Chains A and B, each alone.
Chain A
Amino acid sequence: MEKAMSLKTKIDRHTANGNTESISYTGKDFSSDQDVRWCPGCGDYTILKQVQSIMPELGINKENIVFISGIGCAARFPYYMDTFGMHSIHGRAPAIATGLKITRPELSVWVVSGDGDSLSIGGNHFLHLLRRNVNVNFLLFNNQIYGLTKGQYSPTAPKGSVSKSTPYGSIDHPVNPLSFSLGVDGTFVARAMDRDPKHLNRMLMRAYEHQGTSMLEIYQNCIVLNDGAFNLFTDKKTRPAETIYLEHGEPLIFGSENDKGIRLDGLKPKVVSLADGSFSRDDLWVHDEQDQTKAYLLSRFFDQPEPGDENHMPRPFGVLYAVDRPCYDEGVNAQVEEVVTRKGTGNLDELLRGPETWVV
Chain B
Amino acid sequence: MKVKDLVRDEVTIRFAGDSGDGMQLTGSLFTNTTALEGNDLRTLPEFPAEIRAPVGTVPGVSSFQLHFGSKEIMTPGDACDVLVVMNSAALKANLNLLKKGGIIIANTAGFDKRNLNLAKYGEDHNPLEDGSLSGYKVIEIDITKLTKESLDDFGLSYKDVERAKNMFVLGLLYWLYNRPMESTIKFLEKKFNKSPDIAAANVKVLKDGYHFGETAELFAETYTVKKADIGPGEYRNITGNEATVLGLVSAAKQANLPLFYGSYPITPASDVLHELSRLKNYGVYTFQAEDEIAAVSSAIGAAFGGSLGITSSSGPGIALKGEAIGLAMMLELPLVILNIQRAGPSTGMPTKTEQSDLLQAMFGRNGESPVAIVAPSTPADCFDAAFEACRIALEHMVPVYFLSDGYLGNGSEPWKFPQQENLKKIDVKFEPSRNGEETEKFMPYLRDERFVRSWAIPGTAGIEHRVGGLEKEENTGNVSYDPENHQKMTEMRQAKIDAIAGFIPQQTVDSGNKKGDVLVLGWGSTYGSIRTAVRELMEEGMDISHAHVKYLNPFPSNLGQLLKGFKHILVPEINQGQLVRLIRDQYFVPATGINKIKGRPFFVDELKQEIKDALSIKR
Contacts and interface: CB of A to CB of B under 8 A. Distances in A.
8 contacts: A16-B437, A84-B466, A86-B466, A87-B466, A88-B297, A340-B280, A346-B283, A352-B418
Contacts of B401: none
B234 interface: yes
Contacts of A82: 464
B417 A103 contact: no
A45 B479 CA distance: 19
Interface residues of B, number: 77
B419 A352 contact: yes
A360 B236 CA distance: 11
B235 A99 contact: no
A349 B420 contact: yes
A124 B290 contact: yes
A28 interface: no
Nearest to B250: A348
B435 A354 contact: no
Contact of B460 (A63, A89, A348, A358): A63
Nearest to B246: A352
A346 B281 contact: yes
A344 B463 CA distance: 36
A357 B281 contact: no
Nearest to B305: A104
Contact of B458 (A64, A342, A345, A360): A64
B23 interface: no
B231 interface: yes
Contacts of A98: 287, 289, 294, 298, 301
A350 B479 CA distance: 48
Interface string A320-354: 00000000000010011001101111101101111
Closest 4 CB pairs of A and B: A99-B301, A87-B468, A99-B298, A346-B282
A40 B235 CA distance: 70
Contacts of B231: 360
A94 B295 CA distance: 11
B38 interface: yes
A360 B227 contact: yes
A84 B465 contact: yes
Interface residues of A, number: 64
Interface string A80-102: 01111111110010111111111
B57 to A, nearest CB: 35
Interface in A102-148: 102-104, 106-107, 124-125, 127-128
Given A63-B464, A86-B467, A360-B230, A104 B478 contact: no
B604 interface: no
Nearest to A341: B281
B249 A357 contact: no
A106 B306 CA distance: 13
A179 B151 CA distance: 60
A359 B235 CA distance: 6
A332 B281 contact: no
A214 interface: no
B260 interface: yes
Contact of A92 (B260, B281, B324, B479): B324
Contact of A102 (B230, B287, B290): B287
B309 interface: yes
Given A87-B466, A348-B253, A107 B459 contact: yes
Given A85-B465, A359-B234, 15 more contacts: A14-B461, A84-B458, A84-B466, A87-B466, A89-B469, A92-B293, A95-B294, A95-B301, A96-B298, A99-B300, A100-B304, A348-B249, A353-B234, A356-B183, A358-B235
Contacts of B603: none
Contacts of A97: 301
Nearest to A121: B293
B165 to A, nearest CB: 25
A66 interface: yes
A149 interface: no
A99 B461 contact: no
Contacts of A349: 419-420
B464 A83 contact: yes
Contacts of A22: none
Nearest to A337: B280
A336 B249 CA distance: 15
B297 A360 contact: no
Given A332-B285, A352-B419, A102 B459 contact: no
A125 B293 CA distance: 9
Contact of B479 (A79, A102, A344, A348): A79
A292 to B, nearest CB: 23
Nearest to A61: B461
B302 interface: yes
A176 B324 CA distance: 28
Quick one: which of B231, B234, B300, B324 has the most chain A CB within 10 A? B300
A34 interface: yes
Contacts of B183: 356
A97 B463 CA distance: 20
A104 B459 contact: yes
B340 interface: no
Interface in A31-81: 32, 34, 61-66, 68, 78-79, 81
A296 B293 CA distance: 30
A69 B171 CA distance: 61
A278 interface: no
A275 B467 CA distance: 56
Contacts of A358: 35-38, 234-236
Given A96-B304, A98-B298, A99-B260, A78 B246 contact: no
Contacts of B253: 348
Interface string A1-38: 00000000000011111000000000000001010000
Nearest to A359: B234
B590 interface: no
Interface in B386-405: none
B299 interface: yes
A323 to B, nearest CB: 23
A68 B468 CA distance: 10
Interface in B418-476: 418-420, 432-435, 437, 458-470
Nearest to B254: A348
Nearest to A358: B36
A351 B419 contact: no
Nearest to A67: B466
B477 to A, nearest CB: 10
B243 to A, nearest CB: 10
Nearest to B303: A99
B32 interface: yes
Nearest to B466: A85
Quick one: which of A66, A99, A343, A357 has the most chain B CB within 10 A? A99
A64 B459 contact: yes
Given A98-B294, A351-B246, A360 B324 contact: no
A176 B296 CA distance: 29
Contacts of B289: 95, 98, 128
A352 B461 contact: no
B391 to A, nearest CB: 16
A149 to B, nearest CB: 15
Interface in B202-240: 227, 230-238
A102 B260 contact: yes
Contacts of B510: none
B262 interface: yes
B307 A103 contact: yes
Contacts of A345: 281-282
B291 interface: yes
Nearest to B36: A358
A359 B233 contact: yes
Nearest to A328: B287
A96 B297 contact: yes
Contacts of B305: 99-100, 103-104, 107
B29 to A, nearest CB: 11
A59 to B, nearest CB: 16
Contact of B324 (A14, A89, A102, A103): A89
Given A62-B464, A339-B281, A353-B236, A99 B435 contact: no
